[in-house]
Structure 1
Amino acid sequence: MPIASMATDLDEAFEACRRETAEWAKTFYLGTLLLPLEKRRAIWAIYVWCRRTDELMDSAEAQSRSVEELAERLDHWEQQTRDLFNGHVSNDLDAVMAHTLERFPQDIQPYLDMIEGQRMDLTWTRYPTFEDLKLYCYRVAGTVGLMTQGVMGVDQAYTSAPWSDSPDTSDAAVALGIANQLTNILRDVGEDRGRGRIYLPQEDLDRFGYSESDLMAGRLNEAWRELMAFQLERAREWFTRSESGVRWLSGDARWPVWTSLRLYRGILDAIERIDYDVFNRRAYVGKVNKLLDLPRSYALAQFR
């Protein structure tokens, strides 16, 4: 269906994307509100595409499907995504993505890689090494950095001179996605075990003497605290890697990105505050702390 035929519904579709982002990604959503409207709406559209992809595997309805049925759904979604990148639009949510791709052109590969990440969830319920987990984190979250970096844009100060080369922010964008996914994993250990999934690398469980049965029982002991402290430090290292790319971004994107980065990293501090008890309590950054961090992130965006 041509995008033009959906023009009257486009604003409504973007509003639907806004509402969904606000409902399901509160910390991320706060950062997007600091962007100019056009960039803000593009990020919402990309987020909803990613959520639609994730829901193929993680929705309540998906839990009743067989592996074969889920694989078929992913194959269908991949074809629909390829069609979208070729200009074929079948509904309003496709239309907002097509509009976003038209305004902010990008490569299809990160989108296909994310679908591959969902395919990993068909067969992977354990991750032997961190290298295995890192691949998963790249596919389901590092790709988001690649999808959104073109929307954020690069500061013209780095590209306006004839001899200038546009800086490559890809590594930092991927690092931020991996950091965010590692944070999700640490926050959601209790929830994931209920679905029979353990994302913490098996090599790390062995290293700290914390067994899979301990994890399934939600056992809080010194081995668990040492294991989690190690995992939090690793996640923080990935956030630090991501920081190097923020200064290259366009002026209207640096504050939102710093805000999202710092607030999401704050979840790691929240895990420490609940003494690593992610089995029984949810770690989150409160509204007051979110508001207090805005001027700090603004200062970093101006001077770092």
Structure 2
Amino acid sequence: MMSTSRAVTSPACAAAWRRRRQQHDRWSASDAPGRAGTATFVAKVGRGRRVRGAAPCSVRAAGSDTIGCLEAEPWGAVAPARPPALALPGLQVAAPAPGDALAVPSEQRVHEVVLKQAALAAAAPRAARIGPEPMAGGLKAAFDRCGEVCKEYAKTFYLATQLMTPERRRAIWAIYVWCRRTDELVDGPNASHISALALDRWESRLEDIFAGRPYDMLDAALSDTVANFPVDIQPFRDMIEGMRMDLRKSRYRTFDELYLYCYYVAGTVGLMSVPVMGISPESRAATETVCKGALALGLANQLTNILRDVGEDARRGRIYLPQDELEMAGLSEADIFNGRVTDGWKGFMRDQITRARSFFRQAEEGATELNQESRWPVWASLLLYRQILDEIEANDYDNFTKRAYVPKTKKLMALPKAYLRSLMPPSSLTQSQRHYSSLT
């Protein structure tokens, strides 16, 4: 654990953390993507799964602000608030009223959030915004703690972040930790005690983070991040909304409904991350294009999670598949709960996989435009997740009794491929060069 006194956890959580550290070498599942998927441009948060070997944490007392095993004492220092010049009030997207949830197509609503984040990021220089300025000891310890959590739960991604500049690397860790803590509210050790009110309180705490009033050291790391990078609060709010959706919803009538859920729990991470990862100074692409690519990777990863975990979700009484498309394929809920791999199911799965792959192709367009040192973790996520779809096909579409996973050898082979892809120049630059060559 951290040597600073601010890194103190509750005894039960500290003991669980030590046990997980001792079993570290035996955790093949700790780096695997999880249900929700905040496994996107940034990382894998592991929703709906338990880390093998982890002991449950003690249930937090009523009114407590601690989150699962990632607890820290209240933070004394105040991180700087976002400079007023970065505010874009004219682009504020109002949350829809409950009765109007589907009044506007989900893709259009999400596009408005993309435009807002793109405008905020475009207002900042594309070069790194932060210099190597020394940090106070407490803040350094906060970022170090975030790095420890990332390394513990997402080893492959943590490795890939080592190519990033220290400022960007620390900021990405801070975002990862906040996403993981948010995810634990619904799927962590204390999930059965979480209510809508608890999520409201977590959102209020998010507002404090963006206002420069962090509650604990992990909040302080994110507060410093959003103060120094053009990160908009809306994707963070939307992720919390995704947690609310999971508390009240276990069926999705159309893909439009499912699209919104996938954005909430996964696409949001891409929008959080682009301003930190940065866009290459050589890129000719619009900031909006890069943000759309980040969103697409989140959607693709989450759809892949859903297709991989059909059987697991069914055993929990959940179906994350468009019901109208199931009906068109002649399938019912009974077919899913009974795990029937019929010709109709295989045809349905082929269509779902085709859709997921289309989002992966769109994600590639954004990944090539990022700063070179930030591309490796993105390409690694993209290539590794896309292989899960191949494994579903290899299992003859039996995702009821067979869990599609990428063998460790294939994972290791994907990393150098991802690194080589990260070295390629922005696609917009090469397209521009080809266009120029055609004119001369």
TM-score (norm 1): 0.88
Match of 1:185 among 287, 300, 306: 306
Q: CA RMSD in A?
A: 2.3
Aligned position for 1:78: 203
Q: 1:216 to 1:297 in 2, by over 3 A?
A: same
Match of 1:137 in 2: 262
What SS does structure 2 have at the residue aligned with 1:44? helix
Which structure's CA Rg is the greater one? 2
Instruction: Give the 3 Å change call, closer, same or farther, for CA 43–256 of structure 1 in structure 2.
Output: same
1:300 pairs, out of 415, 421, 439, with 421
Distance in 2 (alpha carbons) for counterparts of 1:186 and 1:165: 32
**Contact 1:158–1:166 under 8 Å retained in 2:** no
Find the aligned partners of 2:379 and 2:169 in 1 and give their Cα distance: 15
Aligned twin of 2:328: 207
Shift of 1:263: 1.1
The whole-number CA distance in structure 2 between the counterparts of 1:59 and 1:302 is 37
* Pairing 1:243–2:364 present: yes
From 280, 283, 287, the equivalent of 2:404 is 283
CA-CA distance at 1:151 after TM superposition: 1.0
Partner of 1:97: 222
- The structural deviation recorded for 1:140 is 1.1
Q: Deviations over 1:20-53 (max 9, x none)?
A: 3344445544543443333223222211111111
When residues 27 and 224 of structure 1 are mapped into structure 2, their CA distance, relative to the original with a 3 A threshold, is farther
CA distance in 1, matches of 2:155, 2:303: 18
Structure 1: distance between partners of 2:232 and 2:263: 16
Residue range with higher mean Cα deviation, 274-283 or 244-253: 274-283
1:13-28 alignment, distance < 5 Å: 13-26=142-155, 28=157
Distance 2:305 2:159 in 1: 17
- Equivalent residues, number: 295
Verify the 8 A CA contact 1:208 1:223 in the aligned structure 2: yes
Instruction: After TM superposition, give the deviation of residue 58 of structure 1 in Å.
Output: 1.6
CA shift, 1:3, in A, is 4.4
Report deviation, 1:118: 1.3
Q: Equivalent of 2:190, from 61, 64, 88? A: 61
- 1:54-80 residue CA offsets vs partner (Å, 9 max, x unmatched): 1111224313x3xxx510010000000
Report whether the alignment pairs 1:2 with 2:77.
yes
Distance 1:17 1:281, change over 3 A: farther
Deviation at 1:8, TM superposition (A): 3.1
- Residue ranges of structure 2 left out of the alignment (5+ in a row): 1-75, 80-134, 428-440
Query: Is 2:349 the partner of 1:228?
Result: yes
- Is the alpha carbon distance of 1:196 and 1:184 closer, same or farther for their aligned partners in structure 2, counting shifts above 3 Å? same
**Letter in structure 2 aligned against 1:39:** R
Alignment partners' CA distance in 2, 1:206 and 1:11: 54
Where 1:285 maps in the other structure, the secondary structure is coil
Q: Equivalent residue of 2:195, what SS?
A: helix
Q: Structure 1 residues 13 and 195, CA, compared in 2 at 3 Å: closer, same or farther? A: farther
CA distance in 1, matches of 2:237, 2:147: 24
Deviation at 1:215, TM superposition (A): 0.8
Describe the shift of the 1:195–1:28 C-alpha distance in structure 2 as closer, same or farther (beyond 3 A): farther
| Aligned mates of 1:201, 1:195 — CA distance in 2 | 17
TM-score, normalised via structure 2 length? 0.62
Residues 1:119 and 2:244 are matched in the alignment: yes
Measure the CA separation in 2 of the matches of 1:204 and 1:51: 32
Pairing 1:38–2:167 present: yes
Q: Give CA deviations for 1:125-183 in whole Å, capped at 9, x if unaligned.
A: 10000011001111111110100001110111248xxxx97564111111111111111
Are the structure 2 counterparts of residues 215 and 3 from structure 1 closer, same or farther at C-alpha, using a change threshold of 3 Å?
Answer: same
Bigger Cα displacement from structure 2, 92-101 vs 275-284: 275-284
* Amino acid corresponding to residue 190 of structure 1 in structure 2: G
Distance change in 2, residues 1:107/1:195 (3 Å) = same
Q: Counterpart of 1:55 in 2: which secondary structure?
A: helix
Contact 1:10 1:95 in 2 (8 A): yes
CA distance 1:35–1:273, shift in 2 (3 Å): farther
Q: Is the 8 A contact 1:236 1:265 kept in 2?
A: yes
Percent sequence identity over aligned pairs: 53
Farther off after superposition, 187-196 or 121-130: 187-196
Q: Is the 8 Å Cα contact of residues 27 and 264 (structure 1) preserved in structure 2?
A: no
Report the CA distance between 1:285 and its aligned residue: 1.8
Tell me: CA distance 1:135–1:213, structure 2 relative to 1, closer, same or farther (3 Å).
same
Conserved? CA contact 2:157–2:377, under 8 Å:
no
**Compared CA separation, residues 10 and 270, structure 1 to 2 (3 A):** farther
Q: Which amino acid aligns with 2:359?
A: W
